[in-house]
Structure 1
Amino acid sequence: MFSFLFFTDMAIYWIHRFLHHKLIYKTIHKPHHKWKVTTPFASHAFHPIDGFMQSLPYHIYPFIFPLHKVTYLGLYIFVNIWTVSIHDGDYRVPKFLESIINGAAHHTDHHLYFDYNYGQYFTLWDKIGGSYKNPSALEGNGPHDLCRKMEAKKDHQENGIDKKSN
């Protein structure tokens, strides 16, 4: 199972990076990137060719390294849950794994900044390929942090105006 994760992570990294090439991106991968701040719905919103290309590693692996059909089905379910989870905006990853696991914070920055964090599960290939970016959400500058700051500023202004009018 671990080799499946590492193999598919490597293959997805390179396929995903290829889909960002300027000659392919606008036609094939851009529909997925219309969500700057991702939602679970964005996780499966792909052009058919994009979805096919990114699914290939999961189907090629069992031909190279045979898997029991129940294991294959379990990994298929895991992959789908993981794909939804990196698009759900919930940045919960244990602190000691934040630099290793490519979670929702990493993938949100991928949608915001385009040229970073292509990986599926891990940050290894982004670090090797020079496309790793420490997530802005983990630095307190993610989209949810900015929304909270805007709400706090709005509340502060409303409370200041209310006090002046009383």
Structure 2
Amino acid sequence: MLDHEMDWLMWASIVGASMLVGVAVLWIVAGYYHVRYYVRRGHEPETWKCQPKRFLRPDQQRQAAILSTINLSIGGFVSGNLVYAYLQGWELPKLYTEVADYGWLYTLGSTALLFVLMDGLAYYTHRAMHLKPLFKRIHRYHHRYIATSPFVVVAMHPLELLSLQAATFLPLFVMPFHVASVIVVLGYVLVFNIIDHSGVRLVSRIPWQGPSMYHDDHHVYFHVNFGQHLMFWDRIHGTLRREGRRYGVDNFGGKGKPGAGGSEDFVKYP
């Protein structure tokens, strides 16, 4: 077989596998929550649903599933090409495969740092999407789904997906990370984003992981609770939802407007 044919097969295998993995995770995790709650317990939403009186229409469910599948395929295509370029000798992503190169302390510490960096960059990218021009032209597509469901996770404008992906990959071009660290963190981010969009009232045993109500409230109140997994960024910037404030699609800025009395303390999520 000619070298260029082998290169083409290698590229197709890597890119195809990258696209397949993301889509498979979506359908396995989202499918599990959809069947467990929306199918088997759909008759008692008040016992498990974040918004018991709101459901997506069947056509919206199908639309979200199709759009999320397409977007994860696009994301997988980009990721697969980056992996292929790296294997072909591109040295810009600062990755390594041998723990001995930097030691266990650095590898574990950098894994935690990678998670925090990716989470922070996701917060700022997401918050930028809530600036009026970007929201009206791009991010509003995702906010059509006020009642979230597992397949809503990346049902968004493709430009938003690519922006989030670019922000997520940025740390890989700044400092070295073990390949396994990148895989674990990206897997965590995708799985818990699906869970946080599930529309199911869930509280994680992982201490840093916010409850699903935290992001569900973002879809209900729009310009607030921009964080991905950590509520830290919203707390320090004052964009965590507060009692006694009015939010809505036209209240930009992340801090709402004065409401009719009541406390202005941060909402105490479980």
Give the TM-score band, short-chain normalised. Answer: 0.7 to 0.9
Q: Is the 8 A contact 2:204 2:210 kept in 1?
A: no
Q: CA deviation at 1:6?
A: 1.1
Q: Is the 8 A contact 2:211 2:269 kept in 1?
A: no
2:139 counterpart letter in structure 1: H
Q: Distance in 1 between matches of 2:201 and 2:170?
A: 30
Give the structure 2 partner of residue 14 of structure 1.
124
User: What value does the CA root-mean-square deviation take over the aligned residues?
Assistant: 2.4
Q: Distance in 2 between matches of 1:96 and 1:63?
A: 29
Q: Residues 96 and 44 from structure 1, CA distance in 2 versus in 1: closer, same or farther, beyond 3 angstroms?
A: closer
Match 1:31 to one of 141, 165, 177 = 141
2:121 counterpart letter in structure 1: A
Larger Rg: 2
What are the superposed Cα offsets for residues 23-72 of structure 1, whole Å, 9 maximum, x if unpaired? Answer: 11111101111111111111011111100111123211111121122221
Give the structure 2 partner of residue 87 of structure 1.
197
1:74 counterpart letter in structure 2: V
Higher helix residue share = 1
Q: Distance in 1 between matches of 2:138 and 2:241?
A: 24
Give the structure 1 partner of residue 152 of structure 2.
42
Q: Distance in 1 between matches of 2:187 and 2:233?
A: 23
Q: CA deviation at 1:3?
A: 0.7
Q: 5+ residue gaps in structure 2?
A: 1-110, 243-265
Whether 1:130 and 2:200 are equivalent positions in the alignment is: no
Q: Is the partner of 2:169 in helix, strand or coil?
A: helix
Q: Is the partner of 2:177 in helix, strand or coil?
A: coil
Q: Is the 8 A contact 1:105 1:137 kept in 2?
A: no
1:130 counterpart letter in structure 2: G
Whether 1:61 and 2:189 are equivalent positions in the alignment is: no
Q: Runs ≥4 in structure 1, deviation > 3 angstroms?
A: 94-97, 134-139
State the TM-score, normalized to the length of structure 1. Answer: 0.74
Q: Distance in 1 between matches of 2:268 and 2:138?
A: 28
State the TM-score, normalized to the length of structure 2. Answer: 0.47
Count of residue correspondences: 137
